[in-house]
Structure formats: C-alpha cells, structure tokens
Amino acid sequence: MKNKKFIHSSFIGSLLFSIIGSILKLNYHSSFANSFLFIGVILTLIFLILGVIEINKSTRLSKHQKTLWTIGLIAFFNIGSIIYYFIGRKRV
C-alpha cells in the first residue's frame, strides 16, 4: 500500500512540477523554471523506476506483457507513464 501511494505521489508531482516549470520557462522566469523542471524530472525518474518494479513483481501479467509494459514505459517516457498510470496499473 505504501508503494502505491508513493507511485501516485511521484506521478502527480512530476506532472505538476513539469507543467509549472514549463509555464515559468515560457514566461522567462528561468531561475525558478529550472528548479521546477529539475524536480519534475527527478520525480518522473522515481515514478519510472517504481513502475518498472511494480510491473515486474506483478503476478497477473505474463512475461510477454511485462516486457511490453516495461519497454513502453521506458521508451515512451511521458506518454508511456500517463498510459501506464491510468490504464496499466489496473491490470497489475
């Protein structure tokens, strides 16, 4: 249960910090924008690592499905994490 809350928090945090950092960067507030973008990237990496661990520990998925979800999550960094969070986690 603790791991699921941490995955949820890191996903929401990465989205929020990335969006806020992008908006600040577009408005030329580069000192704050870089900090927000850095935190967003760190939280995204944490989410990816926890997502891959969660996928590989799953007993509901076959080896083939685990491989495809892992490749999709890593290869399609942003879109893959959104798809995994809303669709894939229900299957795991």
pTM of the model: 0.82
Contact 73, 84 (CB under 8 A): yes
Structure-token pair, residue 73 = 């999550």
pLDDT exceeds 90 at position 4 = no
Summarised one tens digit per residue, pLDDT across range 22-52 is 999 998 877 788 899 999 999 999 999 999 9
pLDDT band at 80 (very low <50, low <70, confident <90, very high): confident
Summarised one tens digit per residue, pLDDT across range 50-70 is 999 999 998 888 999 999 999
> Which of 87, 84, 85, 86 is CA-nearest to residue 71?
84
pLDDT at 1: 47
pLDDT exceeds 90 at position 81 = no
pLDDT at 2: 63
pLDDT at 71: 92
**Separation between Cα atoms, residue 77 and residue 24, nearest integer Å:** 22
